[in-house]
Amino acid sequence: MSVPRDPGHSPEPGDHRDPEWPRPSGHPAGVRPAEGPGVRGQAAFVAVLVLAFALFTGGGIMLGALATTLRRGIEDTQRARLSEAVAVVAQRGVAGLTAEDVHPLGSGGALQVLDPSRTGQAEVVYAADGRWDAPLTTARPAPGVTVVDRHARAPHSDTPYLAVAQGITSAGTAYVVVTGGTLAGVDRALRQDALSLVGGVPLLSLLGGWAVWLLVGRTLRPVEELRTAVEEIGAADVTGRVPVPPRHDEIGRLAVTMNALLTRIQHSRDSQRRFVADASHELRSPVAALGAGLEILQQRPEELPAVLPLMMTETRHLASLTDGLLVLARADAGMLHRRTVDVDLDDIVAAEVSRMRTSTGLAVEARLAAARVVGEPDDLYRAVRNLVDNAARVAHGRLGLSVGAEGEEAVVRVDDDGPGIPADERARVFDRFVRLDADRGRSHGGAGLGLAIVHSIVTAHGGTVTAGESPWGGARFEIRLPAAGTTPGGEPEGPGEVGGDQGGGDDEAPSGREG
């Protein structure tokens, strides 16, 4: 179909930017951010803190458990000695008690029998080996009661002891039997372990941080290589790619993603260059024609009646071109489809049917059914009108328009009996500044932007537009948009519904349900 089944290549939405972008340094305005500790240093620092906290916490818990275990062991030993001493005193009295009757006291062990009725040193009526002339504990339990004093102190010194005392009655006299064991060894062991913890934890934490430093550095080395490779890619030439490491992990996927990004940037820049070149070429022709016309009028004013129509034609072409470029710029900036109101596509198509029947000599066949969408009315009208004008420019004699609802979609089809579009060109026809061959050149008008505008508008409304073959051998363009509310079905309109003569009744009419 010889029409500007057009569009060309235009800058991607993000192409409105500093021409020096992307900068070789990879930083805005070429300024590098202030150097910081980096991920490596931060990871090592956090590792040191976490290790120190964990080791100190774990070490403190272990010291507490060790202290409890050691003290419980001393307490169990003293309870055993106390039971033996109480049994002897109960059987033989205080006079019959000797140190050999109980577990060996060992160094620092104590065994006493106290008479609570006395005071001071006289209270001690028995002390193993003659030692401990003063009471070891202040506890004076009643007969049959056992008391543990974990804060006892040795007489005449500050040595900590754990004492166990039990009241007993022998020969009608109440006594208190006391056994004790020193805690000095336990405290000394705990102090040594605590000093080892205080000295060892920082060292172990630093070693752990150093190990994390090395590990993170080794892990991030491929990332630094990727960063260096990207930094070396110049702004003028983005054809370079970063090396992809031979491993299928996060680093490998990052390299693949960065290469894909570079490819998109390259395509965007190529598209931008093509768009600027094509737009410049298209603008040059009408501007040159207008300039030539003005020169003629300056030299030969009498040529005005002949030159003025030509200048008006070029002015209209220039206005149409700039208007199309403005629409595409709005599409690139994401400014299409700003309003969301109900739009009746069947009203738009009906208006186009009427326009074609009154302004062209084509036989226009139509099938109209209710089809409502949500969107920008002016843009949707422009999209349908561009398709209709595109088909009318190349149609030999017949034009078909249909609209209706199919499932949850509103569908508009435009058919013509022109030369059609080769199958391998049907996707490219929606690019900017594309003309398929000489038959679709400027002799038919247009700059190759009409179909690109249609594609941008339909895409902005969440729909699709495709090119295919009409039942008459020409081209068929089909728009599909999400329906906002439709009435399925619909009979072909009669001659009086839109006006004008349908014509072409002997040939096959385009079906609004095809595709």
- If one counts every other C-beta atom within 10 angstroms of the C-beta of residue 213, the result is 17
- C-alpha to C-alpha distance for 394 and 440, rounded to whole angstroms: 8
Percent of the chain with pLDDT over 90: 23
What are the residues whose beta carbons fall under 8 Å from the beta carbon of 331, sequence distance 6 or more? Answer: 453, 456, 457, 459, 460
Note the pLDDT of residue 352. Answer: 93
Q: Of 492, 452, 466, give the one whose Cα is nearest residue 412.
A: 466
How would residue 498 be classed by pLDDT, with cut points 50, 70 and 90? very low
Percent of the chain with pLDDT over 70: 79
What are the residues whose beta carbons fall under 8 Å from the beta carbon of 164, sequence distance 6 or more? Answer: 75, 78, 79, 82, 146, 147, 148, 149, 178, 179, 180
Residue 491 scores a pLDDT above 50? no
How would residue 35 be classed by pLDDT, with cut points 50, 70 and 90? low
Note the pLDDT of residue 490. Answer: 40
Report if residue 31 sits inside a domain: no
Note the pLDDT of residue 221. Answer: 84
**Are 148 and 82 in contact, with CB atoms under 8 Å apart?**
no
Predicted structure pTM score: 0.48
Q: Of 317, 325, 456, 445, give the one whose Cα is nearest residue 389.
A: 445
- Is residue 60 domain-shared with residue 191, that is, in the same domain? yes
How would residue 32 be classed by pLDDT, with cut points 50, 70 and 90? low
- Is residue 492 domain-shared with residue 418, that is, in the same domain? yes
Report if residue 23 sits inside a domain: no
Report if residue 4 sits inside a domain: no
Report if residue 63 sits inside a domain: yes
Least confident of 84-88, 105-109, 132-136, 147-151: 105-109
Report if residue 401 sits inside a domain: yes
**Are 164 and 83 in contact, with CB atoms under 8 Å apart?**
no
Report if residue 26 sits inside a domain: no
- Residue 245's region, left for phi above 0, alpha for psi from -120 to 50, else beta, is beta
CATH number reported for the structural domain that contains residue 477 in this entry: 3.30.565.10
- C-alpha to C-alpha distance for 327 and 6, rounded to whole angstroms: 14
- Is residue 50 domain-shared with residue 130, that is, in the same domain? yes
Number of domains into which the chain is organized:
3
- Is residue 355 domain-shared with residue 481, that is, in the same domain? yes
Q: Of how many residues is the chain composed?
A: 515
- Is residue 258 domain-shared with residue 349, that is, in the same domain? no
Note the pLDDT of residue 61. Answer: 93
Residue 482 scores a pLDDT above 60? yes
- Mind listing the pLDDT tens digit for each residue in 408-433? 999 999 999 999 999 888 888 888 77
Residue 12 scores a pLDDT above 60? no
Note the pLDDT of residue 81. Answer: 84
Residue 66 scores a pLDDT above 70? yes
- Mind listing the pLDDT tens digit for each residue in 307-338? 888 888 888 878 877 777 777 777 776 666 66
Report if residue 358 sits inside a domain: yes
Residue 466 scores a pLDDT above 50? yes
- If one counts every other C-beta atom within 10 angstroms of the C-beta of residue 293, the result is 20
Residue 287 scores a pLDDT above 90? no
140 exposure class (CB count in 10 Å sphere: 0-12, 13-18, 19+) = middle
Note the pLDDT of residue 127. Answer: 81
Least confident of 182-186, 192-196, 342-346, 360-364: 182-186
Structural domain range at position 293: 243-332
Cα atoms in the Cβ-side hemisphere of radius 13 Å centred on 46: 8
Q: How far is CA 313 from each of CA 296, 299, 320, 457, rounded to the nearest angstrom?
A: 16, 21, 11, 27
**Are 452 and 321 in contact, with CB atoms under 8 Å apart?**
no
Mean pLDDT over 122-151 rounds to 83
- Is residue 167 domain-shared with residue 52, that is, in the same domain? yes
Note the pLDDT of residue 118. Answer: 83
What are the residues whose beta carbons fall under 8 Å from the beta carbon of 348, sequence distance 6 or more? Answer: 380, 381, 384, 403
Highest mean pLDDT among 114-123, 191-200, 483-492: 191-200
**Are 470 and 417 in contact, with CB atoms under 8 Å apart?**
yes
Which residue among 202, 232, 262 closes a domain?
232
